[in-house]
A = this chain, B = another copy of it.
């Protein structure tokens, strides 16, 4: 059975279950309204008041209650013992319910409190595949899809007519719990299937699979979450039997129109399509000599009639790069491919941009498109699943990194030019912008493989809603809600582990923003040269004299020119580049002196020794937690900390030996570096 995560009955039922509620102004034909009712009665065990006067928990649907600019905003005030939650939509009231419970549980002020989501689209992207596997998943199989009998947790009773080859798992109790968890942190959109749309997944947009999708969409819809599907751009050929997928061919757009109309007939609240086109071998409009605009707008047209969106990924680059050609620079790809298309995309097209210019590394600058692409709706893509960040074996609470990204100053000519501000501001339609996170959940009992990785899912939702929150405040909430028994030194221990974990991971992996150095394909574990002579465009260029990628205009690839001037000037020079990003922008000699006064080579050695020490410290700290959280969770993390230590030791030794062999420079402190 799956864990409750941050909706622990121990914590939340005492808050709500004692209340008598009253709901005002809601139309119970609205599935979200019906859901609030059921949540209060069934999930929280509250009782219904006969009238408003004898209620002490009142929900008021009031379309004028809050500014309409941000769907989902709610206000809470108290009248004596009575708590009033106001919102201008049913979903806002649902958020208000969970927001009140959370604030109450966490001892936060609840009287006269107004909460407005920062980002309009707060989306989870699943890279789940119809065979049950999850691309870059580290927590068991997909909770949506799976081959019959492939997962011992599976509950197949929900689709009585499930056939042997039905790819849907049908574990609707789990899906409902998941939808509730997501709604409780403000998520309002979800893509069910992987952006690499292969095999049976191509047919999710048509019957009979569409009927199955509709069942899931109904559940998510009750929680105010719109369901999206990833589609293959070649579907007109592969699914429709046409001879082309050319977006300018009449039969192609007619085919998509029919598909879209049918989807909306079945799922009126359908969100739209997520598309990876012309990237890493996936088909797209460029196969027909057309542009991304041609492709996206063709799909946008029929969707716009139903209020649907096209989410078009900007993760387009040459994945057959020649390592010999140092003038090439993958970091420049998104900007080069899309900046010229700014202003040409339809109003219901959203360009989904990875937060950094490469690929979810532990240290990357922001993608230069953000703050530059000012007439296009952007969605920033984060990766909750820890593909490059320890794969939910190594503990890595990633909020400090994400919040640094959302607070990154793009230096666009705006009063507030930080990422979180320019995304909803510099666009066509603010409601069509936001943040997306690639899911880290699977069929594991604890949902996320490593129990501590639940905090990243929780934190992602909270960050979308309120990026002014701190990593510490979000962590505090998560700990209080998830582990009510966690107090005193044990709680401080978890806090200490979590808040330093992202930096620790950075310390023992690839140094100073140079990235990669991971095992090819797997992306876990050290392999200094794993990608150095490969086609993926991710190199460190270490030689006996120095290391790093020169992306300056004066001597390098010129990537720095893609930023607004103030950033461009900062990154053009090693002196003004933050140490964390130093090797992302510069190729430097091993004796280059960092801002902290260490040489580059000494920093490499020291950070790697320190990284391992930190993990060893975590193992000691974790012992304090024993007995204060469920034993299974404690062991889950204790086991992974041992694996993390082995991983960190291997990183330390291989990196240090590699660079000692290269540089010939001994460690200033005489620590053990293997020859």
Complex contacts, A674 vs chain B, CB 8 Å: 323-324, 326
Q: Does A533 contact B (CB under 8 A)?
A: yes
Q: How large is the interface on A (under 10, 10 to 19, 20 to 34, 35 or more residues)?
A: 20 to 34
A541 to B658, CA, bound (A): 10
A663 to B542, CA, bound (A): 12
Closest B residue to A526 using CB positions: B533
**Is the Cβ of B324 less than 8 Å from the Cβ of A543?**
no
A545 to B529, CA, bound (A): 19
**Is the Cβ of B544 less than 8 Å from the Cβ of A663?**
yes
A650 to B535, CA, bound (A): 12
- Expressed in whole angstroms, the minimum distance between the Cβ of A491 and any Cβ of chain B is 38
Q: Does A125 contact B (CB under 8 A)?
A: no
Q: Does A661 contact B (CB under 8 A)?
A: yes
**Is the Cβ of B662 less than 8 Å from the Cβ of A544?**
yes
**Is the Cβ of B661 less than 8 Å from the Cβ of A543?**
yes
A527 to B529, CA, bound (A): 8
Most B C-beta atoms less than 10 A away, residue of A526, A544, A664? A544
Q: Does A453 contact B (CB under 8 A)?
A: no
Complex contacts, A647 vs chain B, CB 8 Å: none
- Expressed in whole angstroms, the minimum distance between the Cβ of A529 and any Cβ of chain B is 5
- Expressed in whole angstroms, the minimum distance between the Cβ of A348 and any Cβ of chain B is 45
Closest B residue to A672 using CB positions: B324
Q: In chain A between 626 and 663, which residues have their CB closer than 8 angstroms to a CB of chain B?
A: 650, 653-654, 657-658, 660-663
A658 to B543, CA, bound (A): 8
Closest B residue to A519 using CB positions: B520
Q: Does A528 contact B (CB under 8 A)?
A: yes
Q: Does A415 contact B (CB under 8 A)?
A: no
- Expressed in whole angstroms, the minimum distance between the Cβ of A667 and any Cβ of chain B is 15
**Is the Cβ of B664 less than 8 Å from the Cβ of A544?**
yes
Q: In chain A between 340 and 390, which residues have their CB closer than 8 angstroms to a CB of chain B?
A: none
Q: Does A669 contact B (CB under 8 A)?
A: no
Q: A324-B674, A654-B533, A675-B326 are in contact. Are A664 and B528 (CB under 8 A)?
A: no
**Is the Cβ of A662 less than 8 Å from the Cβ of B324?**
no
Complex contacts, A654 vs chain B, CB 8 Å: 533
**Is the Cβ of A543 less than 8 Å from the Cβ of B662?**
yes
Closest B residue to A673 using CB positions: B324
Q: In chain A between 305 and 360, which residues have their CB closer than 8 angstroms to a CB of chain B?
A: 323-324, 326
A543 to B663, CA, bound (A): 9
Closest B residue to A662 using CB positions: B544
Closest B residue to A655 using CB positions: B533
**Is the Cβ of A324 less than 8 Å from the Cβ of B653?**
yes
Closest B residue to A661 using CB positions: B543
Q: In chain A between 225 and 279, which residues have their CB closer than 8 angstroms to a CB of chain B?
A: none
Most B C-beta atoms less than 10 A away, residue of A533, A660, A664? A533
Complex contacts, A529 vs chain B, CB 8 Å: 527-529
- Expressed in whole angstroms, the minimum distance between the Cβ of A329 and any Cβ of chain B is 15
Q: Mark A513-533, 1 if CB is under 8 A from B, else 0.
A: 000000000000011110001
**Is the Cβ of B545 less than 8 Å from the Cβ of A664?**
yes
- Expressed in whole angstroms, the minimum distance between the Cβ of A324 and any Cβ of chain B is 4
Closest B residue to A663 using CB positions: B544
- Expressed in whole angstroms, the minimum distance between the Cβ of A531 and any Cβ of chain B is 11
Complex contacts, A542 vs chain B, CB 8 Å: 661
A529 to B540, CA, bound (A): 15
Q: In chain A between 519 and 564, which residues have their CB closer than 8 angstroms to a CB of chain B?
A: 526-529, 533, 541-545
Complex contacts, A541 vs chain B, CB 8 Å: 675
Partner of A544, one of B544, B650, B675: B544
Complex contacts, A650 vs chain B, CB 8 Å: 533
A402 to B527, CA, bound (A): 35
- Expressed in whole angstroms, the minimum distance between the Cβ of A510 and any Cβ of chain B is 15
- Expressed in whole angstroms, the minimum distance between the Cβ of A259 and any Cβ of chain B is 36
Closest B residue to A664 using CB positions: B544
Q: Mark A148-190, 1 if CB is under 8 A from B, else 0.
A: 0000000000000000000000000000000000000000000
Closest B residue to A533 using CB positions: B654
A141 to B657, CA, bound (A): 42
- Expressed in whole angstroms, the minimum distance between the Cβ of A521 and any Cβ of chain B is 11
Complex contacts, A660 vs chain B, CB 8 Å: 543
A657 to B540, CA, bound (A): 13
- Expressed in whole angstroms, the minimum distance between the Cβ of A445 and any Cβ of chain B is 31
Complex contacts, A675 vs chain B, CB 8 Å: 326, 541, 543
Complex contacts, A526 vs chain B, CB 8 Å: 533
A661 to B654, CA, bound (A): 18
Complex contacts, A545 vs chain B, CB 8 Å: 664
- Expressed in whole angstroms, the minimum distance between the Cβ of A404 and any Cβ of chain B is 32
Most B C-beta atoms less than 10 A away, residue of A326, A526, A527, A650? A527
Closest B residue to A665 using CB positions: B544
A543 to B542, CA, bound (A): 13
**Is the Cβ of A544 less than 8 Å from the Cβ of B661?**
yes
A660 to B543, CA, bound (A): 8
A651 to B96, CA, bound (A): 62
Closest B residue to A650 using CB positions: B533
Complex contacts, A527 vs chain B, CB 8 Å: 529, 533
A654 to B534, CA, bound (A): 10
- Expressed in whole angstroms, the minimum distance between the Cβ of A638 and any Cβ of chain B is 24
- Expressed in whole angstroms, the minimum distance between the Cβ of A507 and any Cβ of chain B is 19
A675 to B654, CA, bound (A): 23
A324 to B324, CA, bound (A): 31
A326 to B661, CA, bound (A): 14
Closest B residue to A326 using CB positions: B675
- Expressed in whole angstroms, the minimum distance between the Cβ of A268 and any Cβ of chain B is 46
A526 to B532, CA, bound (A): 12
Closest B residue to A325 using CB positions: B674
Closest B residue to A323 using CB positions: B674
Given contacts A326-B674, A527-B533, 7 further A-B contacts (CB under 8 A): A324-B653, A326-B675, A533-B654, A543-B661, A543-B664, A544-B661, A661-B662
User: 10 closest Cβ contacts across the A-B interface?
Assistant: A543-B661, A324-B674, A544-B544, A533-B654, A529-B529, A544-B664, A544-B662, A324-B653, A326-B675, A544-B661
Report 14 cross-chain contacts, Cβ distance below 8 Å, ordered by A residue: A323-B674, A324-B653, A324-B674, A528-B529, A533-B650, A533-B653, A541-B675, A542-B661, A543-B660, A543-B662, A543-B664, A544-B544, A544-B664, A545-B664
